[in-house]
Amino acid sequence: MKVLCKFCGADFHSPNKEYTECQCGNTDHSQFVFSENETPAVPEAQMMYEIKYNLVFEGRKSQPQHDQVTQDVVDRIQKNERGYYHDLEIIRELGMQDTSLLKTWYEIGLKNYWIAGAWDPKFTIDSFAECKTLGYLLKMLKHGNWSLGSAFYYRNLCFINQVNGGDEWLIIKDDVDFESYSCGRVLESNPFKLVKDIYRYLTAPTDKLKDYEFMKSIEVPEEIELDGCIYRDEVKIAEARLKMYFDVTLDQSIEVHKKQLARAEIMKGKHKQFVTYLKYKGYKVDDTKVSKTYHLNELPINAINEDGTLNEDRFAWSVKDYEIDGDYVTVFYALAEFIRDLTLDYNWEVVYVD
């Protein structure tokens, strides 16, 4: 009988079934040893849906949840035995769940030192959740604080968390594990970098995934379209659109020009961090405005007047326009005033527009 050590994945045999110590030193066989015959069956594929709903706990209503779930989850929400779920909306069917690679990914996960040691909950074949779109995968990876062994997959790419409550994901394509990636950290600072890397992973043949030079040579378009969505380097675009505020004109004396150039270089460095900071904080930047969408619970006290209009005096920056849509308010700030007035937490000089 073939026996695998769940701790390191090594094969070892014992004719009389009195298991000896594994080469990794594991002796806790009740916890870490299993036979091939005990490999669990792959769950039956279910229909998947995109849904919205609200959670209410102890009288407090959460922000609307927007998830991709299987039929059994929809059934559980509809039963609502504990009364937590409200306002379920099934937006659309996403097609049948793809379970064709679950057994392969599960076995690879068990051979990983950290994943195999997952305990709360244990790593099982039910630990995998499919993401039907790249956008939803990015949302899950950015969420953070996932338990050890949590796993998400998109197409034939699988991400399994290797750190309890952390952010280090084992990446597998088909039957090849090839990368360990801090997805959440990258998504905070430069989301398009992870999108580009995923594009490369999807494009590359499995036998080239560990070939650094080959992976680096894969050309990535400026705009990546997946699942009907276009992904762009928003930080780069925002920087290009705003660079006019830091350009140096040439019709100046050499000394003035040098001083202006030195100042501009400093400000460009700060500006790059500034735009990244805005993106991280959830702001959207375009040619003339900075905007952010807030849930009503996030707004300052008395931000909405009795007549339903926005009380602009409750905001720190000059409000150019706003839109109220149900429980959400999108506030548009005047770009020049916003940049001029906002001083970041890093004790920078005030970034301003001439």
The pLDDT assigned to 38 comes to 55
Strands 328-334 and 289-295, how do they pair? antiparallel
Same domain for 129 and 226, yes or no, is: yes
Q: How far apart are CA 104 and CA 151, in angstroms?
A: 13
pLDDT mean over 205-223: 94
pTM for the whole thing?
Answer: 0.64
pLDDT mean over 152-179: 96
pLDDT band with cut points at 50, 70 and 90 for residue 347: very low
More confidently predicted of 125 and 60: 125
- Rg (alpha carbons) of the chain, rounded to whole number: 26
Is residue 238 in a domain? Answer: no
Q: How far apart are CA 134 and CA 282, in angstroms?
A: 19
Q: How far apart are CA 320 and CA 314, in angstroms?
A: 14
Q: How far apart are CA 10 and CA 2, in angstroms?
A: 10
Q: What angle in degrees, to the nearest 10, is found between the helix axes of 191-203 and 134-143?
A: 130
Same domain for 141 and 225, yes or no, is: yes
Same domain for 203 and 135, yes or no, is: yes
Same domain for 334 and 320, yes or no, is: yes
Residue 33: CB partners within 8 Å, gap ≥ 6?
3, 4, 5, 6, 19
- Last residue within a domain, chosen from 231, 254, 286: 231
Is residue 347 in a domain? Answer: no
Tokens of 92: 């659309």
The pLDDT assigned to 248 comes to 45
Same domain for 74 and 141, yes or no, is: no
Task: Give me the number of domains the chain comprises.
Answer: 4
Is residue 284 in a domain? Answer: yes
Domain membership of residue 151 as a residue range:
102-231
- Last residue within a domain, chosen from 96, 118, 135: 96
**How many other CB atoms are found less than 10 A from the CB of residue 179?**
16
Same domain for 130 and 73, yes or no, is: no
The pLDDT assigned to 83 comes to 82
Same domain for 173 and 108, yes or no, is: yes
Q: How far apart are CA 143 and CA 64, in angstroms?
A: 15
Same domain for 116 and 87, yes or no, is: no
Same domain for 287 and 336, yes or no, is: yes
pLDDT band with cut points at 50, 70 and 90 for residue 148: very high
- Give the model confidence (pLDDT) of 89-106 as tens digits: 999 999 999 999 999 999
The pLDDT assigned to 37 comes to 43
Is the CA virtual torsion 65, 67, 69, 71 positive or negative? positive
From 3-12, 90-99, 110-119, 219-228, the region with the lowest mean pLDDT? 3-12
Whether the pLDDT of residue 18 is over 50: the answer is: no
Same domain for 119 and 91, yes or no, is: no
Same domain for 264 and 332, yes or no, is: yes
**How many other CB atoms are found less than 10 A from the CB of residue 30?**
6
More confidently predicted of 253 and 248: 253
- Last residue within a domain, chosen from 184, 203, 231: 231
Local structure of 115: helix, strand or coil: helix
